[in-house]
Structure 1
Amino acid sequence: MPRVIGIDPGTVSIDVCGIDDGHTYLDRSWPSAEALADLDSFTAYLRSGGEPDLVAGPSGYGLPVRRAAEATDLELRLAFLAGPGEAGGIGGLRGLARRLAAAGLPLIFTPGVIHLDSVPRHRKLNRVDLGTADKLCAAVLGVFEQSRRRGHGPDGASFVLVELGGAFTAGIAVSNGRVVDGVGGSSGPIGWRAAGALDAEVAFLAGEVTKATLFGGGVLSIRADATVAGADRMAMDAYLEGAIKMVHQLLVSAPAANEVLLSGRLAAHPEVRGRIGDALARVAAVRPLSGFATIAKQGAQ
């Protein structure tokens, strides 16, 4: 079997999972800033268990499956959507992708939710972010995990994935093994660090919306504002209620889904898991997306 590697480039950490002959042989997480500052060490780790046959690289908002060596500058700009000199967001991801490809690694870019033919065209109107490439990878892990646990084929998998990342909250609807809808982190509910979808009038009043704007305004920003009375509880209520509303929204596209799978950094938070589970108890079973790695996040698996 081939030796393959998945890379999940998150706001807080960059995670790596490698599989060789069905067994996990790479399983690690770096702080994002540390990994991007020492690309030689990062690249060396990818080769530490032998030369890989395929590397699913950092793909941002995604591209139709493409070898990194064949990707054009325009395609890279569309995948990472970072303007010249833009300091916000996860700086350096496009450079990381270029560096890995230049190092001779068999890197490919993978799609985001918006690239899938299984998602009806009307659900893509006025949207860019229906779920980034790493969120889609987590949904594929969900299909694998649910199919194995329940003993049916991939076409029997139906669920809503809720990705509770270190910055963004996102969701993906899967019906009969096919991704049919998604809510992206920049177009969805409030996240742990990120504001989520901005009211168009808020964007107008702001005058300028930068990448840094998209990565702020979440739970941590609200909690840090000493002028807001009861900020901690208000921020947590907004965060959890937003995720719960998103699940109900996605169930419109996947009415047969009877499970909600929680993934991402905040999925292990006791209050988060408990309150989401209680709120959705009459709708679907809520369970963590466990995967098979010990350290690497679900998107890398």
Structure 2
Amino acid sequence: MLTIGIDAGTSKWAVSVLGEYREKGKTKTEFKFETTILTKEVKKDMGALLNLIQDFNPDCIVFPSGYGLPLKKISELDDNDLFKISLKKESEKESLGIRKFLSEAKKRKFNGYVIPSVKQLPTVENFKKINVIDLGTSDKLCSVIYALSLSKNFKTENFILAEIGYGFNAFIKIYGGKICDGIGGTIASSGFLAHGKTDKEIINNRKVEKFSGGVLSILKKKISPQEFFKNYKNFKNRELAHLYFMDGLIKDISALSDPKISKIYLCGKISAFVEGEIKEGLERKSGRIFEVENIEKNESNACIHWSSAGRGGAILANGICGGKFKNLTDWMEIKDARGDIFDYIFM
């Protein structure tokens, strides 16, 4: 069996190809191929990525699903589904991302699925869904799946997954191996590039760009995360930006935390630079000891060519097809996802 997961990130897309095979009477899995492609390159030539996927002739694919739908075959998607996934109309320039990619993939008749976001999961209590759309997009669900796949007993896992990406931050809470709460990127603290939750009075009085208000806006300079975290003394407002960024991370993790949670998993492009500071900040704020681990850490500190969401997507596709990870994905009740991102909105 060969399955594929695709993660559509702000700065890059990641593709993971998972193989399942039998060896000496045991079922084994391994990632056969992984790569990352700059987002701007994908938008320029989506055909190249689609050709790459097609060449593997996969049994099942989990596609980027944005704000999510209950599990649905890509062949069954209509325009209303594409709008709910992207919250972009076909006429909008910014829709030339996930929406266009899914439309092109549908034409190729891939055997694949779009998947839920956190809000549509039955394991999240309904009162937590009131007046919010983004409790964590579908790629965050995939990152959680990857984190749980690393555990010997996923049914006993309690942790918070903090995805600290280039654009946005997001935080997902897991109890007993099931997602139970989340703070999505649009309502979380500011990211490296973009603002998260925003004071309504600012929106009422100023034009707010989607990818503004983060660290780079404070610095008024376009630099890489590596430059910012390693050469901070060279940049004006660096201390202000750094304190603002870290304070937001600690507050959001603390908001989901409770005495039963002592493990924090990190992923995302920025996570490698803040692991130690998050541990120190949480322990100083709470007076408790935390285990903080970056699940995308590379022992050689080299650039990784995969993402936890891409890997998690391939694992989910394996579970959907009845493979080795079926028990994990069934336990998370992903197939039981229901509803609409606009449910429980009373505004």
Could you state the TM-score of these two structures normalised by the residue count of structure 2?
A: 0.77
The reply on whether 1:239 has 2:241 as its aligned counterpart is no
User: Which blocks of at least 5 consecutive residues in structure 2 are unaligned?
Assistant: 21-28, 223-234, 312-347
Alignment correspondent of 2:4: 5
The answer on whether the counterparts of 2:74 and 2:110 sit within 8 Å (CA) in structure 1 is no
Cα shift at 1:76: 1.1
Letter of the aligned partner of 2:195 in structure 1? A
Task: Give the structure 2 partner of residue 137 of structure 1.
Answer: 142
- Please name the residue that 2:102 is paired with: 97
Which residue of the partner structure matches residue 169 of structure 1?
169
Aligned-residue sequence identity (percent) comes to 28
1:291, 1:298 within 8 Å by CA — same for their partners in 2? no
Q: CA RMSD in A?
A: 2.1
Is residue 141–residue 291 contact of structure 1 (8 Å, CA) maintained in 2?
no
**Does the 8 Å contact 1:27/1:294 carry over to 2?**
no
Q: Secondary structure at 2:242's aligned position in 1?
A: helix
1:214 to 210, 215, 240: 210
Q: 1:26 to 1:291 in 2, by over 3 A?
A: farther
* Equivalent residue runs for 1:20-31 within 5 Å: 20-21=19-20, 22-31=29-38
Task: Find the counterpart in structure 2 of residue 19 from structure 1.
Answer: 18
Equivalents in 1 of 2:49, 2:308: separation in Å? 19
Question: Structure 1 33/225 Cα, relative in aligned 2: closer, same or farther at 3 Å?
Answer: closer
Question: Which residue identity lines up with residue 70 of structure 1 in the other structure?
Answer: E
Q: For residue 111 of structure 2, what is the aligned residue in structure 1?
A: 106
1:194 matches 2:200:
no
2:310 match: 300
Question: In the alignment, residue 256 of structure 1 is paired with which amino acid?
Answer: K
Secondary structure in structure 2 of the residue aligned to 1:25: strand
Q: State the shift of 1:155 in Å.
A: 1.1
The alpha-carbon deviation at position 294 of structure 1 amounts to: 5.0
In the alignment, what sits opposite 1:181? 181
Shift of 1:98: 1.0
Q: 2:268 touches 2:296 (CA, 8 Å); kept in 1?
A: no
1:225: Cα distance to partner? 6.4
Looking at structure 2, the residues matched to 260 and 39 of structure 1 have their Cα atoms a distance apart, in angstroms, of 35
CA contact (8 A) 2:72 2:115 kept: yes
| Residues 1:128 and 2:133 aligned together | yes
* Count of residues in correspondence between the two structures: 283
TM-aligned CA distance change 1:97 to 1:84, over 3 Å: closer
Inter-partner Cα distance in structure 2 for 1:204 and 1:125 = 23
For 2:218, the aligned partner's letter is I
Q: Deviations over 1:201-237 (max 9, x none)?
A: 112223x55xxx22221111111169xx952111111
Displacement of 1:72 after TM fit? 2.0
CA distance in 2, matches of 1:18, 1:101: 19
* Higher Rg of the two aligned structures: 2
Q: Counterparts of 1:219 and 1:84 in 2: how far apart (Å)?
A: 31
Residue 248 (1) aligns with residue 254 (2): yes
User: Are the equivalent residues in 1 in contact too, given 2:117–2:137 (CA < 8 A)?
Assistant: yes
The separation in 1 between residues aligned to 2:9 and 2:37, in whole angstroms, is: 10
1:245-273: CA deviations, max 9, x gaps? Answer: 11110114xx422200010000112xx12
- Find the partner of 2:45 among 38, 43, 51: 38
**1:267 maps to which residue?**
271
State the shift of 1:289 in Å: 1.2
Match of residue 288, structure 1, among 266, 282, 294: 294
Q: CA deviation at 1:86?
A: 3.2
TM-score, with structure 1 as normaliser: 0.88
Instruction: Choose the corresponding residue for 2:82, options 76, 79, 94.
Output: 76
User: Is the partner of 2:270 in helix, strand or coil?
Assistant: helix
Deviation at 1:104, TM superposition (A): 1.9
Deviation beyond 2 Å, 4+ runs, structure 1: 83-88, 280-283, 290-294
Cα shift at 1:81: 0.5
Q: Which of the pair has the greater relative contact order for Cα pairs under 8 Å at 6+ separation?
A: 2
